[in-house]
Amino acid sequence: MLMQNAGLTFEARAADIDERRIEAGLEGAAPDEVALTLAAAKAMEVSNHFPDAIVIGSDQTMSLGKRVYHKPKSRQEAKENLLSLSGKTHRLNSAIALARGGDVLWEHVSHADLTVRALSEDYVDHYLDRVGEAVFSSVGAYQLEGEGIQLFSRIDGDYFTILGLPMLPLLEKLRQLGAIRG
């Protein structure tokens, strides 16, 4: 949606990679390094099938200190994750990699720091009841563009980074490569 709204012409292809296996090989790596590695792996895998195209791979990790979060698999896990963020500031690490012909042309990672207000168990249950299955589609169990905004007291970072695709650096690099008009 972000690229479409920016007027880009593109074809979406899912990368056939095992993210958890790749991540397991990165034990001890910083969360932004994990995001960059996964973004590059996605771009490279698709680039192998479309060698003449500029392929955009992206990934986002969410971290609180050394803990890296993943999409919750159950309502209970979503609740536990939200309560663990209560009153704390976590970081979203949004990475992009561009590849062509099996080579990575460029990598970038942007950060956003989000402070969750103090949450009660009762409020988290209410929130989870209202948003339903949507909590399973996001690593933080929230969508900032929806009711998830009510979870926060402060946000530092650009909107596109929070949504998982830092558009301004991406568009600048695509202009530099001549892939879009500048």
CA distance 87 to 27: 27
Backbone angles phi, psi at 93, to 5 degrees: -115, 105
Which tokens is 138 given?
A: 């996001």
- In DSSP terms, which residues pair with 69 in a beta bridge? 62
Residue 60 in contact with residue 37, Cβ under 8 Å? no
Residue 143 in contact with residue 134, Cβ under 8 Å? yes
Residues annotated as part of the active site: 59
